[in-house]
Structure 1
Amino acid sequence: MTEPRKHHYISQCYLRNFTLNKNIYVLDGKLRKSFSTNTGNVCSLRDFNTIYENGERVQTLENAQSQFEDVAAKAISKVINGEEFSGSVRDTLLELMAMFHVRNPVQRNKYREIEEIGGGLGLLATDVDETYIRAELELSMIGVVKTSLSQRGWKVVKAAEGAGEFVTSEFPLSINFKDISSEDSSYIPPLNGINTRVFFPLTSNIGLLGVHGVDNCVVEAGMSEIAYFNRLTIARSDRIYIRDIDNCNIFLEGANPTPVNCLITNITHQ
């Protein structure tokens, strides 16, 4: 049996929570185009999870990720159904956030830059395939990021009726300063920064907000808040993923919440 070589770095079990009639709407700012497609056609690369052993492809990492995604899908469903964000649900979803943050093309390119100068750093070894080195580095970093995320209290942010929906992206975990006036778009604060907050869109109607020194709770978000979180989500990605373009807003600097369908028109007609 031929093993699949299209590997998702943003899991389909997650992306399906941003679909309408089984399709997800894509806005590509870099290519200046938009289209609707199924989740199998986005956030994937050929052999992204492949490891080579003695010149042969092995799917150990892809198979392990697939098994984890089954657990993650159940955890997402539990939050949707109102289960408390704690215990194994919290642990699983923090790992999912960390995996998306570490194992994606943007971060991998950064690791490659390190590897190119990293012989002295012990990141390269002539007797070990580079895919193993890369996998070990990424898995180690997932643990570091998850530990950092676990030190925060988490608010389950639910969209109020009529407030619009959350979007997601190829880099969905965002971090910013708690004080909006302190924001500097050219500077991304560290994940362990004390005066920061981390946001992750879990579904089109639920987001997770991590802040140091707060208790886990459930809060409701209005249109302006959701539009602001959407702005954070898309800041580091060329592609936005949307469930319903007629029910979504993004807060742009110096403006009121802007409907996504207007943004789509502006981008694709430039």
Structure 2
Amino acid sequence: MTARAHHFVPRCSLKNFTTNKKITLVDLDTGDEFTTNPENVAQERDFNRIETDDLAPDALEMAHGQFEGELAPILQSVVNGNIDATKEDFDSILNLVALLAIRNPRYRSPFSEFQDNVRQQILQLTSATKERWEAHIERANAARL
């Protein structure tokens, strides 16, 4: 079964902000509060989905899940006051910080726009003249053989 609810903040991190296995959220615009399960927070359908012939659509989500499984006891140890982290533990925490910085919808939107702009520019250059377009088609057909 393919995972569809992809978290951009790991559940193993969210659970450290719970009371009785529930997390309280506040809408910063309205001040409204509500309580829910961490599974319902910081996730988006197919957020980490990839389209390739070589991997399953949820391969990236599964890789994140494996990392988060290794990270969970490290975070729990820190929450419990254990400051005797190994270099590997520290590296895992730094990887979490890096993932939190880049793996979120606020970051993805401008990055996706940049990628779309680059693709549009490449397409415009490729099809700028009939000769250039035909040469491109010939190279593409030759590469398929």
Matched, 1:17 2:16: yes
Pick which of 96-105 and 113-122 moved more.
113-122
Uncovered stretches (5+) of structure 2, i.e. residues with no partner: 123-145
TM-score using structure 1 length:
0.41
Distance in 2 separating the partners of 1:70 and 1:83: 20
Conserved? CA contact 1:78–1:89, under 8 Å: no
Q: Which structure is higher in strand share?
A: 1
Please give the per-residue CA displacement for 1:180-211, whole angstroms capped at 9, x wherever unaligned: xxxxxxxxxxxxxxxxxxxxxxxxxxxxxxxx
Larger radius of gyration: 2
Partner Cα distance (2:83, 2:39) in 1:
28
Listed one character per residue, the Cα deviations across residues 114-160 of structure 1 (whole Å, up to 9, x for unaligned) are: 112223888xxxxxxxxxxxxxxxxxxxxxxxxxxxxxxxxxxxxxx
Equivalent residue letter for 1:112: S
Using the alignment, how far apart are the partners of 1:45 and 1:60 within structure 2?
Answer: 16
Taking every aligned residue pair, what percent have the same amino acid on both sides?
Answer: 33
RMSD over equivalenced CA pairs, Å: 2.1
Corresponding residue for 1:8? 7
Runs in 1 of length 4+ with deviation above 4 angstroms?
A: none
Q: What are the residue-to-residue correspondences of 1:1-270 with 2, within 5 Å?
A: 2-30=1-29, 32-54=31-53, 58-81=57-80, 82-119=82-119
- In the aligned structure 1, how far is the partner of 2:121 from the partner of 2:17? 41
Tell me the matched-pair count. 120
Letter in 2 for 1:75: I
Consecutive unaligned residues of structure 1, counting only runs of 5 or more, are 123-270
Please say if residues 22 and 38 of structure 1, whose CA atoms lie closer than 8 Å, have aligned partners that are also in contact.
yes
2:121 and 2:70 map into 1 onto residues whose CA distance is 35
